[in-house]
Structure 1
Amino acid sequence: MKLQSVSLLLSTLSIALSAPSPYRPKPKLVNKYPGLDVLAKRAGLLYFGTAIDNVVLNNSQYISIAHNKSEFGQVTPSNGQKWMYIEPQQGKFNYSMGDAITKPGREAGQMGRCHTFIWHNQLPEWLTAKNWTKPELVKVLENHIRHEARHYYDSCYAWDVVNEAFNDDGTLRETMWLNTIGKSYIELAFKFARKYTSPRTRLYYNDYGIERVNNKSIAVAEMVKYFLKRGVPIDGVGLQAHFTTGRSPSYNETSASIAQYNKLGVEVALTELDVRQALPDSHEQQQAQAKIYADSVKACVDAKDCVGVTVWDFWDPVSWVPETFPGYGDACLWSANFTKKPAYYAISDMLREYS
């Protein structure tokens, strides 16, 4: 090679080495472990959410999970919006407990489900101790719904308007509402809710034991059909889904129950999902619990119009189960030391199949 050619080659090489490299975008970092809400949305649901109780709001580790939008895209006050806390004295309203959950939820970008306008439990003494006339109690009911609905006007994707109004045999539960107003109290509650909530808010009837096609779930379906025929506003049915390891509905049974409401033209949600276990817990029970959780969520994902799933809290120490069902517990997705349980991963793995 001639000296002139070598010189030219070295000059060209020097220019190439000193020139800036062509732009190559950095590869996006992919989260290998997306949260349950992220996966639920990929699978077609509107949200995966959790209920939150006020008793645990001082636990920073709990709060960091509860308001982690990737895990929970929706939050529900499990107690703070019930009558005894909202209207502890007649005409005197206190929204502090509900706000303590809904406000941080909005700040975290989470949706809200609101729970509940009317129930036979957790009522203040001023309401239960008096013998009301029908017109008086109707007025009290409307006034309560008006104030609470207006306060949470833009905070609720959905309201559980009436909670647990039926017995297991499909008859109406005997309550002060039924005894004083008559069966029309349910219809009135929905009409009042529609009158005072945002037009965008979905109005739900919510109950347990309706996750199979049975006397109770059929009675609820008949009520929905009757309401729709008469123009009574109702948008959805909440299947609470409080289950027990060893005697929970199957995927097919839950799917069939969801379908009976979807066929009527209303949406469905699993609103209070948990799976309690006989104590002490065991590896076998955890595996069974995991399957129940995954199958329940899958039934919602596969349904025509099941919009989302809410677990009734996610941390075992604050579950309602041990107090209500002595000898049972460990019903949630996180254990006492904040370890994710097999049920969490079973839901996650199932949802990934839809991604």
Structure 2
Amino acid sequence: MKLSIFAAVLAALPLATSSPTWGPGKGPYGPKDKYPGLAVLAKRAGLQYFGTAIDNVVLNNTRYVSIAHNRSEFDQVTPANGQKFVHIEPQRGVFNWTLANQVIKPAKKARQSVRCHNFIWHTQAPEWLEFGNWTKKELVSIMENHIKVEARYFYDTCFSWDVVNESFNDDGTFRETFWYKTLGKEYIELAFKFARKYTSPRTTLYYNDYGIEKVNNKSLAIAELVKDFIKRDIPIDGVGLQGHFRMATAPKYEEISASIAQFNKLGVETAITELDVRIELPDSPEKKAKQAEGYANAVKACVDADDCVGVTVWDFWDPVSWVPYTFPGWGNACLLDDDFNKKPAYYAVSDVLRAAA
């Protein structure tokens, strides 16, 4: 539990309605002569961690790696892709730990914690799994074996697991994925039961999704799932609000706070798990300032919540962001620009954390 003594002051600040200029000594919270790393500030603000996702495609860039594994900046690491089904079990019963370990081993050496992502998702599944003509019994067996082997391999590594990822449509209905078509909505329950059976008792188990940073049909449906799980003693410890925002329409502080609260009041923790704020190109100083608001509002909402435990940015360097490849015409979604310069968004996050410390 954490309550910021500056909550009332921060709530009155115009983060969601104006465009202040952020930079060294220019933040809305007063001058400062140096900036500790974001993870250092996050701990002071009451969060358990401030982390980043890391993808394998950039591990040959020594400057990137030095920042990614700087524990004062990011004290938690999430493998962006290396633990997904397609890479972990590319053939049935054949497991490959290479991509995951390329991220996790340096993180452990740097004494960073590891947030693991993910066991079950309908995307980035190997063809043998997605297009197999499975009976219900066969698919349940495949699921359990995959979770068992991966969970045991990373048993002492993962303080938290995204057990199931993105199972709901925006209207609150279940996605008709290959998991759902064969197993029905029970597949989510089964995944959490298997995860609890094979992970460390200390590992927190999360449901993770995007577009739930406001109270809407999707977030309400997930809240009902959580409520049902708790009522029936199905193991679930947290809900991850991904936080993939568009600069111009990023949710306001009050909206994110309300969504976090709807899960926290059910008795589960929350986290911002994949934060980035994409800009419609070409970029401009005004767009950067608006982007900074989006970042600041999300971090502030987590800091001020009773049981939002941490924030993970979905990588920190613009050239390796997933955004341009997924959303043509959009980009520059991260905290650092092409030349590793800290953007206004970085200083906005730093200011929020500093004010809450």
Other-structure match for 1:217: 219
Residue number in structure 1 paired with 2:11: none
1:306 equivalenced with 2:308 (yes/no): yes
Q: CA deviation at 1:129?
A: 2.2
What letter corresponds to residue 265 of structure 1 in structure 2? G
Question: What's 2:119 paired with?
Answer: 117
Aligned position for 1:167: 169
Query: Which piece of structure 1 moves more, 162-171 or 100-109?
Result: 100-109
Match of 1:265 among 260, 264, 267: 267
Q: Which amino acid aligns with 2:331?
A: G
Q: Say which of 196, 205, 209 aligns to 2:198.
A: 196
How far apart are the structure 2 equivalents of 1:93 and 1:234?
Answer: 26
Residue 44 of structure 1 pairs with residue 34 of structure 2: no
The 1-side partners of 2:222 and 2:174 are apart by 10
Q: Does 1:323 align with 2:325?
A: yes
Pairing of 1:1-355 with structure 2 (within 5 A): 32-355=34-357
Amino acid in the other structure paired with 2:277? V
Deviation at 1:295, TM superposition (A): 1.1
Amino acid aligned to 2:162:
D
Secondary structure of the equivalent of 1:353?
helix
2: CA distance, partners of 1:291 / 1:168: 24
TM-score by length of 2: 0.90
The separation in 2 between residues aligned to 1:244 and 1:337, in whole angstroms, is 22
Q: Which has the higher contact order (CA 8 A, sep 6+)?
A: 2
Provide the aligned length of Structure 1 versus Structure 2: 326
In the TM superposition, what whole-angstrom CA distance separates every residue of 1:273-301 from its partner, at most 9, and x where no partner exists? 00000001000000000111011100000
Deviation at 1:119, TM superposition (A): 0.3
2 CA distance for matches of 1:56 and 1:354? 33
Q: Percent identity?
A: 70
SS of residue in 1 equivalent to 2:67: helix
| Structure 2: stretches of 5+ with no match in the other structure | 1-32
Q: Deviations along 1:183-208, whole A, 9 cap, x unmatched?
A: 10000000000000000000000000
Q: CA deviation at 1:351?
A: 1.1
Counterpart of 1:163, as a letter, is N
CA drift of 1:33 comes to 2.1
Deviation, structure 1 residue 125: 1.1
Question: 1:354 offset after TM fit, Å?
Answer: 1.8
Contact 2:208 2:239 (C-alpha < 8 Å) held by counterparts: yes
Residue 82 of structure 1: CA displacement? 0.2
Instruction: Note the aligned Cα RMSD (angstroms).
Output: 1.0
Give 5+ residue unaligned stretches, structure 1: 1-30
Distance 2:133 2:73 in 1: 46
Report which of the two structures shows the higher radius of gyration computed on alpha carbons: 1
Distance 1:55 1:337 in 2: 17
CA contact (8 A) 2:303 2:356 kept: no
Measure how far apart 1:248 and its partner are: 1.1
The Cα of 1:130 is off from its aligned counterpart by 1.4
Secondary structure class of the residue paired with 1:301: helix
